[in-house]
């Protein structure tokens, strides 16, 4: 190897920000393996490169003395010079391969150092390539990310981070969430063919993707005035977002929805028309559960703090809406609130008013903002009379509840008549 090649290695090390001594040591190790094979040496080889002149010396390490019986290895060696005549040509070929490997490893290490602290961050990218198992996304020049969508039944150790309703095309712009940055020093089996998979893994199904999108579209969330308390998501189908305002005079739901729904519409468009329900978070579990079942209207919520169960009573015509298609609305509400939710129709619950009376506590029921009586008639319709001061019921139904009677008082009132 000539001094000109040494100068080129030094310049490359400075350009790629690689330690020159590390580069030479890697080159020596690579050359030792190559010469051991080329020269068909019986024993291991050691290669030394003169740091000033670039001269290369190849020595065979011939063991001397006795073998260690416990380890089966020799402790002393005699170096025998076996330097070939065409050492420079072989060295040049190895130098090229070693340099490419080191530059690639250094690039992956630089990407790892840059993005390891950016987990949970939203990034913009362009779709480069889509296969049956993953999509490669270009974040910026020289940096690529992987959006995996493996069949988890065939590949149980892989991920599926793509919503079922999404299909990507070349050069399509895409927002995604960084969920993992692979350490190149610990990955050993992360290759597919000759190409190494990107170190950055992104997701389009993670609930925090919605959080980041709302931070972009809603200044109040970005500034911390409105807080997203919880997110429940079935990617590609429907999501529920519970929000809360630090300022009492600011409506958090209205801030997230925006004028004529402009803000939430931008989020929905980015999620490829995934339905997003924004509901108001409340520290009262009864109100929180009732809000979570939106758009269904809830009559009563009975909560059991000890078992974390909530029994919800809804009008008969709201039962299917509260449960949702294939139970989706109730399932998302349960995930959002963290409560086990049991939904019952008003007609069913009206058949056992004594049970309701024994379960409902003043703090468990939904706050009666309109001041109406909370008694449910036999047809599941709520009483239209005003509740007495300090009570949940009107004068007639309060007496019935106290006596435990289940008689239908509708016969005592003419249609449209109300008690004051």
Other CB atoms within 10 Å distance of the CB of residue 168: 17
Which one has a higher pLDDT value, 293 or 33?
Answer: 293
Query: At residue 276, does pLDDT exceed 50?
Result: yes
The rounded Cα 252 to chain-centroid distance in angstroms is 24
The tokens describing 41, both together, are: 């040496």
Query: At residue 411, does pLDDT exceed 50?
Result: no
Among 140-149, 172-181, 403-412, where is mean pLDDT lowest? 403-412
Q: What is the rounded average pLDDT for all residues in the chain?
A: 81
Q: How much is the pLDDT for 35? A: 79
| Mean pLDDT across 36-49 | 84
Among 22-26, 175-179, 184-188, 257-261, where is mean pLDDT lowest? 184-188
Domain extents in the chain? 3-110, 119-184+196-203, 207-281
CATH of 119-184+196-203, one of 2.40.50.140, 1.10.4000.10, 2.40.50.100, 3.20.20.70: 2.40.50.140
Q: Do 91 and 84 touch, CB atoms closer than 8 A?
A: no
Query: At residue 2, does pLDDT exceed 70?
Result: no
Indicate the fold that domain 207-281 takes in CATH: GMP Synthetase; Chain A, domain 3 (3.30.300)
Q: Do 27 and 96 touch, CB atoms closer than 8 A?
A: no
For 316-359, how does the pLDDT look when each residue is reduced to its tens digit (9 = 90+)?
899 999 999 999 999 999 999 999 999 988 888 766 555 555 55
| Mean pLDDT across 225-241 | 95
| Mean pLDDT across 30-56 | 82
Q: How much is the pLDDT for 401? A: 60
Cis peptide before 295, with omega less than 30 degrees from 0?
A: yes
**Strands 143-148 and 134-140: what pairing?**
antiparallel
Most confident of 20-34, 100-114, 272-286: 272-286
Query: At residue 15, does pLDDT exceed 80?
Result: no
Query: At residue 119, does pLDDT exceed 90?
Result: yes
Q: How much is the pLDDT for 203? A: 96
List the one residue out of 415, 416, 418 whose CA is nearest residue 397.
Answer: 418
- Class level of CATH domain 3-110: alpha beta
Q: Do 226 and 170 touch, CB atoms closer than 8 A?
A: no
Among 15-19, 58-62, 243-247, where is mean pLDDT lowest? 15-19
Q: How much is the pLDDT for 358? A: 53
Which one has a higher pLDDT value, 20 or 376?
Answer: 20
For 209-218, how does the pLDDT look when each residue is reduced to its tens digit (9 = 90+)?
999 999 999 9
**Strands 275-280 and 238-245: what pairing?**
parallel
Query: At residue 297, does pLDDT exceed 70?
Result: yes
Q: How much is the pLDDT for 403? A: 54
Contacts 24+ apart (CB under 8 A), 114-120: 115/143, 115/178, 115/181, 115/199, 115/200, 116/181, 116/183, 118/178, 118/181, 119/178, 119/179, 119/180, 119/181, 120/177, 120/178, 120/179, 120/208, 120/212
- C-alpha pair distances (Å), 17 with each of 1, 25, 95, 386: 23, 16, 17, 79
For 383-396, how does the pLDDT look when each residue is reduced to its tens digit (9 = 90+)?
767 777 667 777 67
Q: How far apart are CA 234 and CA 207, in angstroms?
A: 9
Q: How confident is the model at residue 38 (pLDDT cuts 50, 70, 90)?
A: confident
Query: At residue 201, does pLDDT exceed 80?
Result: yes
Q: How confident is the model at residue 230 (pLDDT cuts 50, 70, 90)?
A: very high
Q: How much is the pLDDT for 173? A: 93
List the one residue out of 418, 419, 356, 410 whose CA is nearest residue 379.
Answer: 410
Q: Do 253 and 200 touch, CB atoms closer than 8 A?
A: no
What is the value of pTM for the model shown?
0.68
Looking up tokens 């030394």 gives 48
């Amino acid at each position: 190897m000539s001094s000109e090649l040494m100068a080129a290695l030094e310049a490359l090390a400075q350009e790629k920000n690689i330690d020159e001594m590390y580069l030479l040591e890697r080159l020596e190790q690579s050359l030792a393996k190559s010469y051991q094979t080329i020269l068909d040496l019986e024993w291991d080889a050691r290669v030394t490169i003169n740091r000033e002149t670039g001269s290369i010396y190849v020595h065979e390490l011939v063991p001397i003395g006795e073998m260690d019986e416990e380890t089966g290895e020799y402790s002393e060696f005699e170096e025998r010079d076996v330097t070939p005549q065409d050492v420079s040509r072989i060295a040049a070929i190895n130098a090229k391969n070693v340099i490419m490997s080191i530059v690639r490893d250094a690039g992956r290490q630089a990407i790892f150092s840059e993005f390891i602290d950016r987990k949970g961050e939203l990034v913009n990218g362009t779709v480069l390539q889509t296969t049956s198992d993953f999509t490669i996304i270009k974040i910026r020049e020289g940096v690529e990310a992987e959006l995996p969508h493996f069949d988890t039944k065939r590949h149980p150790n892989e991920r599926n981070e793509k919503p079922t309703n999404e299909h990507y095309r070349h050069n399509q712009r895409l927002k995604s969430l960084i969920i993992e940055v692979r350490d190149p020093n610990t990955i050993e089996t992360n290759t597919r063919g000759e190409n190494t998979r990107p170190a950055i893994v992104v997701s389009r199904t993670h609930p925090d993707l919605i959080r980041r999108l709302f931070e972009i579209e809603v200044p109040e969330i970005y500034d911390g005035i409105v807080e997203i308390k919880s997110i429940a998501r079935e990617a590609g189908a429907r999501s529920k977002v519970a929000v809360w305002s630090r300022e009492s005079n600011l409506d958090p739901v209205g801030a997230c929805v925006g004028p004529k729904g402009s803000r939430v519409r931008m989020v929905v468009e980015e999620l490829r028309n995934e339905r997003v329900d924004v509901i108001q978070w409340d520290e009262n579990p009864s109100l929180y559960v009732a809000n979570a079942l939106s758009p269904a209207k809830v009559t009563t919520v009975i909560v059991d703090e000890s078992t974390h169960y909530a029994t919800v009573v809804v009008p008969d015509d709201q039962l299917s809406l509260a449960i949702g298609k294939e139970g989706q609305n109730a399932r998302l509400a349960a995930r959002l609130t963290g409560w086990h939710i049991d939904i019952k129709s008003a007609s069913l619950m009206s058949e056992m008013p004594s049970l309701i009376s024994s379960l409902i506590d003043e703090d468990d029921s939904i706050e009666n903002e309109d001041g109406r009586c909370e008694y449910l008639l036999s047809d599941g319709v709520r009483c239209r009379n005003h509740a007495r001061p300090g009570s949940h019921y009107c004068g007639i139904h309060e007496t019935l509840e106290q006596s435990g009677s289940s008689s239908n008082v509708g016969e005592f009132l003419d249609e449209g008549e109300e008690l004051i």
